[in-house]
Structure 1
Amino acid sequence: MKLLRLILAFIILAVGNSAHSQVIEAPEWKAEIQEDSYSSGDTIRVKFTAKIPKDWYMYSSDFDPNLGPTVTQFQYNNSTDSKALGPVTPVGAKKKYDEIFEGEYTYFTKEAVFKQKFRINNKDAIINASVSYQLCSDVTGQCIPFNSDIVVNGVTPGNNKPKGNEIKQTGAALELEPFQNEFKPEQKESEGFTFLLSFFLVSFGAGLAALLTPCVFPMIPMTVSYFTKSNSNRKKAIWQAIFYGFSIIAIYTVIGTLFSVLFGAAFANFLSTHWIPNLFFFIVFVLFALSFFGLFEIRLPNSFVNKVDRQSNKGGIIGLFFMAFTLVLVGFSCTGPIVGTILLQAAGGERLQPLIGMLGFSLAFALPFTLFAIFPNWLKSLPKSGGWLNTVKVVLGFIELALALKFLSMVDQVYHLDFLSRDIYLTLWIVIFSFLGFYLLGKINFSHEEKRTSVSVGRMISSLLVFSFVIYLIPGLLGAPLKGLAGYLPPISSQDFNIKAYSNNGISEDKNEEIAECGTPKYDELLELPHGIQGYFEYEQALKCARKKNKPIFIDFTGHGCVNCREMEAAVWSDPKVLKRLKEDYVVVALYVDEKKELPENEWYVSTVDNRIKKTIGGQNLDFMIQKLNANAQPYYTLVNPDGSLLAAPKGYDLNVDRFVEFLDRGLKRFKEKNDENIFAKN
């Protein structure tokens, strides 16, 4: 099932997937006085420096604040002891034009440096500076706001060496007070690297699959023969083949680079949950499937392909490059849908994913051409072209058709249309994969194929695997959790028939007790917690209930499009040890960050994070998460005392049940300790 999840992670747009997102601390700031000595009334220069974490960047202070990104801003005490002179000056900031914001902004990587002049009027002057800024990551697509207080101490006239400075890091400079936090978030340092490595390996596998299509496979011996026969110098032929392979890799990597520029982090939430991109992706995947079935071919214009092909006759390095370009274009009708799938997987705002995906795909795609040119005798071991190549293509078509439903399901979930429930979704998958199994057995043939009178061993084994998968899906129609697919199916709460719920007559005594004590959960007509957990979907309501029941709060920052959230609910929350604690020991509140339901106008507000109006439930929940925790990754589990303090380090995606139980127990223990402290203080 691990392999199945890995394959699905490649072929499904894991929109809202934040398993590899990071939550970071505010960077370390230092303040340094540039003058060795000075007197009262002198002007001094202070250099502010911030160390920026790897793979993150900080916006500078010298671009139009109306452009969109958060401009770094400094504020000072400006007392009679010291006064800032003029604006702060960034040093060494880079410039970039952003097509999304349609303007040029400046930013820092590795280290941010700002300089500010001050007039000192008192020998004991202390400069208090507050800097608000934003860090963004090209790896995860996150943008997190921060506020840091900097105290420059010991600005004493006549001193040859200033005493230095003291830095106080705080949360974001926001309207909401952050949770009283003495804990660092739990996170795995290798999480982002592991995800990218997995994506690279699956993309590499996709490249190998592309080689087995009828558009590409026959070209391997033809191309290799060119290198081995056109030049009697074997060393030169090998060098040409290596350059040819690198050219293929370069072409696909450029495609990935362009894609990453066009689809940056600003579009992440839009692409993840809005109906327009999801409906578009659904149509694209259906067209890919029909193309693989042979209804039509997705081809580039012949005139364009021919022009490129003519360039390959020039010889030399340029000729080799255009030979590689011609291969890419000629094979487009088969590789286009596969490449498109990789790029759509990376369309959620990830800057590195398109590059990693295209690198993995092109490396696998180019490797055989290079290796067979170096070892031409290996060509004899290649199977002959035939109907099996078309079989590979049709199988990919069935898979593309099944995966198209993921995007349609996303539209249904986010907008509560209720037309694609979990059982209907599973029924369609069962039918699609059953058809695939029958096709492999030769019971279904397309018009362009010959009718089969026998079945090969390979097709028989493949059909057994497909039908085994179908049988695995069938219990899901009765409400089985299907944990291995939990992240890719609609939530079990959308199931029209669930035998477990039916056996309980759909009645929950816990729910009646909860309503009687704390009131009906707000938005419960739209949202639902899994496994019969009774809880809330608004923080303030949960907080009131927690105070009334004297229980800690379990906050689940989640989303309709969050694949890892569904996996956690199916694999971890369902465990009896976890479920018992959530139901009995905590007041649970699920805050959906992508819920599109628009609130009444009197509940709208302008966020101090991005100065934009927050109109929807999801928009306000995400803004709440950023302001309270300086985080925006989902799933993100937070244990809070009713007095507003954190009880344990927030926890992200982790399928280890024992660690999750330990996390819940740690928060409950801290809650009881605080209760005892309060009782002792009162007495």
Structure 2
Amino acid sequence: ALVSFSCTGPILGSLLVGSLSGSESGAMQLSIGMLGFGVSLGLPFTLLAFYPRYLSVIPNSGYWLTKLKVTLGFLELALAFKFLSNADLVGGWGIIKREVFILIWVLIFLSLAFYHFKSSLNKSKFNFKSLTGLVSLIFSIYLISGLYNNSNVRFLSGILPPEFYTIKNSENQCPLGLNCYKSFEEGRSYALENEKLVLLDFTGWACANCRRMEENVWSKPNIYNLLDNEFVIISLYVDDRSELDYNDKFKYINTLGKTQYVNTIGQKWSAFQLLNFKNASQPYYVAMKPTGEILSEPIQYVSEKKFESWLNSSISESIK
């Protein structure tokens, strides 16, 4: 159960991609990530090997283990819909919208609550099953509140689909209703015409930290006003599977000396980020003038205070 329940692919996969940038930070992140998984998975078996007598302390399998397996099964089902939602976002299928995802999770955790409450009906004492059922019920109610107000469930930013990915027919497909472009040239032209700065937002449909930044940091009033009034946001999705026009397809030699073919919009922006900024991780923010002059050192996932300071310093640098 310990080994099979760990979802290593999505985490280690992103670390492996980041290491291809050739930067020291990418290699360090990969090393720390691999070390963390290795230690966490190997430590329990190592300790039991050194102290085998503690095996006798572990309860024998039976009723409690069945309950644990069922609980983990519900959690696995919830996570399965999370990864299916990622595929829906990347593929642009438009099936698992935000409201649909929330309702699915509500049904899963209400079912888990019912399962544990049913098992503890004949018990006079408040036990672990009752506690698990109560937590599942409270979490379900918490999820339901997100159907009426997005800010209620921002604790789950990065897990839920983006706030703008909704069943409502919204023309604005940008975070928080901000004005943004998904084409570098179109966004740069608009910034030139309106004398605004450019915020390059290298992001991804399946990027959890990107959603956390947008919904928990960008949403702060001071930061929102800066983004809305001073910048033109150009959101470049590196996992966009849309096919490029034939004349826009190209190839290049990557840092490993291999030929890389660029056939999709996501591959184009990924190559754009890697070739120009020597970085392959998201989120990645670049503040620049429409003419191409970079105003400050690009940043990634940071706190609200640091992001606001970075925006202000970029604005100050632009008027020097």
Q: Which residue of 2 aligns with 1:357?
A: 37
Q: Which residue of 2 aligns with 1:534?
A: 179
Q: Distance in 2 between matches of 1:460 and 1:194?
A: 41
Q: Pick one of 472, 495, 498 that aligns with 2:166.
A: 495
Q: Which residue of 2 aligns with 1:317?
A: none
1:99-119 per-position Cα deviation (integer Å, ceiling 9, x unaligned): xxxxxxxxxxxxxxxxxxxxx
Return the offset for 1:615: 2.1
SS of aligned partner of 2:140: helix
Return the offset for 1:384: 5.8
Q: Distance in 1 between matches of 2:32 and 2:140?
A: 28
Return the offset for 1:141: 4.7
SS of aligned partner of 2:200: strand
Q: Which residue of 2 aligns with 1:469?
A: 139
2:277 equivalent to 1:599: no
SS of aligned partner of 2:202: strand
Q: Which residue of 1 aligns with 2:309?
A: 662
Q: Which residue of 2 aligns with 1:649?
A: 297
2:235 equivalent to 1:590: yes
SS of aligned partner of 1:413: helix
Change (3 A) 1:476 1:194: farther
Return the offset for 1:368: 4.1
Partner letter of residue 361 of structure 1? L
Partner letter of residue 664 of structure 1? L
Q: Distance in 2 between matches of 1:549 and 1:608?
A: 37
Q: Determine if contact 1:12/1:403 at 8 Å carries over to the other structure.
A: no
2:123 equivalent to 1:454: yes
Return 5+ residue gaps in structure 2 as ranges.
none
Q: Determine if contact 1:423/1:495 at 8 Å carries over to the other structure.
A: yes
Q: Determine if contact 1:16/1:561 at 8 Å carries over to the other structure.
A: no
Partner letter of residue 646 of structure 1? I
Change (3 A) 1:575 1:195: farther
Return the offset for 1:362: 3.1
Q: Which residue of 1 aligns with 2:319?
A: 672
Q: Determine if contact 1:596/1:618 at 8 Å carries over to the other structure.
A: yes
SS of aligned partner of 1:528: coil
Q: Which residue of 2 aligns with 1:447?
A: none
Change (3 A) 1:141 1:555: closer
Q: Distance in 1 between matches of 2:221 and 2:194?
A: 23
1:289-308 per-position Cα deviation (integer Å, ceiling 9, x unaligned): xxxxxxxxxxxxxxxxxxxx
Partner letter of residue 578 of structure 1? I
Number of aligned residue pairs: 311
Q: Distance in 1 between matches of 2:310 and 2:6?
A: 31
2:97 equivalent to 1:421: yes
Please give the residue correspondences for 1:373-452 in structure 2 after superposition, counting only pairs within 5 Å. Answer: 373=53, 379=56, 383=59, 385-442=61-118
Return the offset for 1:420: 0.8
Q: Pick one of 261, 264, 270 that aligns with 1:622.
A: 270
SS of aligned partner of 2:147: helix
Change (3 A) 1:560 1:15: farther
Q: Determine if contact 2:174/2:180 at 8 Å carries over to the other structure.
A: yes
Q: Distance in 1 between matches of 2:30 and 2:12?
A: 18
Q: Distance in 1 between matches of 2:276 and 2:17?
A: 20
2:220 equivalent to 1:551: no
SS of aligned partner of 2:158: helix
Change (3 A) 1:361 1:462: same
Return the offset for 1:547: 1.3
Q: Determine if contact 1:14/1:563 at 8 Å carries over to the other structure.
A: no
Q: Which residue of 1 aligns with 2:29?
A: 192
Greater per-residue strand proportion: 1
Q: Distance in 2 between matches of 1:144 and 1:191?
A: 12
SS of aligned partner of 1:487: coil
Change (3 A) 1:587 1:193: same
1:617-669 per-position Cα deviation (integer Å, ceiling 9, x unaligned): 11111111112111111100000112211101100111x11110000001000
SS of aligned partner of 2:233: strand
Return the offset for 1:477: 1.5
Change (3 A) 1:362 1:657: same
Return the offset for 1:462: 1.9
Partner letter of residue 20 of structure 2? C
2:20 equivalent to 1:143: yes
Q: Determine if contact 2:251/2:259 at 8 Å carries over to the other structure.
A: yes
Change (3 A) 1:472 1:671: same
Please give the residue correspondences for 1:163-182 in structure 2 after superposition, counting only pairs within 5 Å. Answer: none
Q: Determine if contact 1:17/1:562 at 8 Å carries over to the other structure.
A: no
Q: Which residue of 2 aligns with 1:109?
A: none
Please give the residue correspondences for 1:264-275 in structure 2 after superposition, counting only pairs within 5 Å. Answer: none
SS of aligned partner of 1:489: coil
Q: Which has the larger radius of gyration?
A: 1
TM-score, structure 1 length as denominator?
0.42
Partner letter of residue 532 of structure 1? G
Greater per-residue helix proportion: 2
* Overall identity of the aligned pairs, in %: 29
Between 1:9-18 and 1:422-431, the stretch displaced more is 9-18
SS of aligned partner of 2:21: strand
Return the offset for 1:190: 11
Change (3 A) 1:13 1:528: farther
Please give the residue correspondences for 1:245-260 in structure 2 after superposition, counting only pairs within 5 Å. Answer: none
